[in-house]
């Protein structure tokens, strides 16, 4: 069986330092070696790869095109190794930083208000919450767990269903007091329908579910996050279709009203997604157990 095709890791480390400083002298100082030793290691790497990584002109050096390509690859790889090393050291006995990739509005309105109980139970764990709602990549985003909306289809991960989604039509009270109050499904044709960019078919799903015809509808703004959709509806930019649990405070305060009593099950659910590679880390196991317990 063929082994890995890898150059000397010491040469790789030296090349990255030289490329970062654009100097053999400064790289040698960081690595605590002589300048000639650093130069020899980079030369050996070039000979192994059979491509020049630097152009050398008197006292100046500059990365070649091949050198720039290889430097990006090496830098990213060393960053991952360093991050993994720090993580393992800091994760002893459950300590360290838990990084959560979070849907922005779900995080702000549902998870964050509940996190004090987790922090109180596990003060040794630091929390790092980042906005994350695109394609899920644990390595690239450097996250331990994520919360996503979908249908439970994520590879190389442990997927736990959290909750479904109940959606309803809401608008500003100003629209109900205007020339065309929303008193029937047909009334919607006088108003702009606000759309969520990651849920482009939500309105079609709602019209089918309530048995209404979507004719002559006007489209309002398309927005990326639910908190933007909520604010657009509050401002009177149109009629919105929103998950009930995200707008409970707005409905209680009266900044949003519901023209219809219909509450429809949304086409999907929220899931906790845990990186399979990190699932046994103490801090990850503690958070997963705590979050699922919140829904028990």
Q: What is the pLDDT of residues 103-120, one digit of tens each?
A: 988 998 899 999 999 999
State whether 160 and 275 are in the same domain: yes
State whether 246 and 191 are in the same domain: yes
In a domain, 3, yes or no: no
How many structural domains compose the chain? 3
Q: What is the dihedral of CA 172, 178, 184, 189, to 10 degrees?
A: -90
Q: What is the pLDDT of residues 233-244, one digit of tens each?
A: 999 999 999 999
Look at residue 140 in the predicted model and tell me its pLDDT.
79
Look at residue 25 in the predicted model and tell me its pLDDT.
92
State whether 58 and 173 are in the same domain: no
Share of the chain above pLDDT 90, in %: 62
What span, in angstroms and rounded, lies between the C-alpha atoms of 262 and 282? 43
In a domain, 1, yes or no: no
Region 245-256: what's the mean pLDDT? 94
Residue 92: exposure state from Cβ atoms within 10 A (0-12, 13-18, ≥19): exposed
Look at residue 183 in the predicted model and tell me its pLDDT.
92
- The CATH number given to whatever domain includes residue 274 is 3.40.190.10
- The CATH number given to whatever domain includes residue 28 is 1.10.10.10
At residue 279 the predicted structure's pLDDT band, cuts being 50, 70 and 90, is confident
Facing residues of 131 across strands?
102
Nearest residue to 105 (alpha-carbon basis) of 198, 171, 204: 198
State whether 159 and 275 are in the same domain: yes
At residue 90 the predicted structure's pLDDT band, cuts being 50, 70 and 90, is low
Nearest residue to 74 (alpha-carbon basis) of 45, 116, 35: 45
Determine the distance from the C-alpha atom of residue 101 to the mean position of all C-alpha atoms in its chain, rounded to a whole number.
Answer: 4
At residue 3 the predicted structure's pLDDT band, cuts being 50, 70 and 90, is confident
State whether 141 and 104 are in the same domain: yes
Region 244-250: what's the mean pLDDT? 92
At residue 87 the predicted structure's pLDDT band, cuts being 50, 70 and 90, is low
CB 196 within 8 Å of CB 223 = yes
* Residue spans of beta strands (DSSP E) within 216-293: 218-223, 240-243, 264-275
Look at residue 217 in the predicted model and tell me its pLDDT.
85
State whether 252 and 284 are in the same domain: no
Region 52-62: what's the mean pLDDT? 88
In a domain, 141, yes or no: yes
Q: What is the pLDDT of residues 210-231, one digit of tens each?
A: 988 877 789 999 998 999 999 9
State whether 218 and 138 are in the same domain: no
Scored b (16 or more CB within 10 A) or e, 33-65 reads: beeeebbebbebbbeeeeeebbeeeeeebebee
| Maximum separation of any 2 CA atoms in the chain, in Å | 83
State whether 98 and 159 are in the same domain: yes
Q: What is the pLDDT of residues 158-215, one digit of tens each?
A: 999 999 889 999 999 999 998 999 999 999 999 999 999 988 889 999 999 998 887 7
In a domain, 131, yes or no: yes
User: Is the pLDDT reported for residue 58 higher than 80?
Assistant: no
Nearest residue to 145 (alpha-carbon basis) of 10, 290, 242: 290
Element (H, E) at 17: helix 9-21
Last residue of a domain, one of 71, 88, 105: 88
State whether 58 and 100 are in the same domain: no
Last residue of a domain, one of 60, 88, 116: 88
Nearest residue to 6 (alpha-carbon basis) of 64, 86, 81: 81
Last residue of a domain, one of 66, 88, 110: 88
In a domain, 2, yes or no: no
State whether 158 and 282 are in the same domain: yes
Q: At what angle do helices 9-21 and 35-49 cross, to 10 degrees?
A: 110
In a domain, 227, yes or no: yes
State whether 159 and 179 are in the same domain: no
Supply the mean pLDDT for the chain.
89
State whether 243 and 173 are in the same domain: yes
Range of the domain at 181: 165-266
Helix (H/G/I), strand (E/B), else coil: 252: helix
Region 122-137: what's the mean pLDDT? 86
Region 286-291: what's the mean pLDDT? 95
Region 50-74: what's the mean pLDDT? 91
Look at residue 92 in the predicted model and tell me its pLDDT.
59
């Amino acid at each position: 069986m063929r082994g890995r095709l890898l150059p000397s890791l010491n040469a790789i480390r030296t090349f990255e330092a030289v490329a970062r400083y654009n100097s053999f002298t400064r790289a040698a100082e960081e690595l605590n070696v002589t300048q000639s030793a650093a130069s020899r290691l980079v030369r050996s790497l070039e000979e192994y790869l059979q491509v020049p990584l630097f152009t050398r002109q008197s006292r100046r050096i500059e990365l070649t095109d091949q050198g720039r390509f290889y430097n990006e690859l090496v830098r990213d790889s060393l960053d991952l190794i360093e991050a993994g090393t720090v993580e393992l050291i800091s994760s002893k006995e459950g300590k360290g930083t838990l990084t959560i990739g979070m849907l922005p509005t779900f995080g702000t309105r549902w998870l964050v208000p509940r996190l004090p109980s987790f922090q109180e139970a596990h003060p040794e764990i630091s929390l790092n919450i980042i906005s994350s709602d695109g394609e899920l990549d644990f390595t690239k985003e450097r996250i331990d767990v994520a919360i996503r909306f979908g249908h439970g289809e994520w590879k190389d991960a442990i997927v736990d269903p959290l909750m479904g989604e109940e959606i309803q039509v809401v608008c500003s009270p100003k629209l109900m007091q205007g020339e065309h109050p929303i008193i029937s499904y047909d009334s919607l044709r006088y108003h702009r329908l606000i759309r969520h960019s990651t849920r482009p078919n939500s309105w079609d799903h709602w019209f089918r579910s309530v048995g209404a015809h979507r004719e002559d509808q006007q489209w309002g703004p398309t927005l990326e996050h639910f908190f933007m959709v909520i604010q657009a509806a509050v401002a009177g930019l149109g009629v919105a279709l929103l998950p009930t649990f995200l707008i409970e405070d707005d409905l209680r305060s009266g900044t949003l009203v519901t023209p219809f009593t219909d509450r429809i099950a949304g086409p999907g659910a929220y899931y906790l997604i845990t990186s399979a590679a990190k699932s046994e880390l103490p801090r990850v196991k503690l958070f997963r157990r705590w979050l699922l317990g919140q829904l028990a």
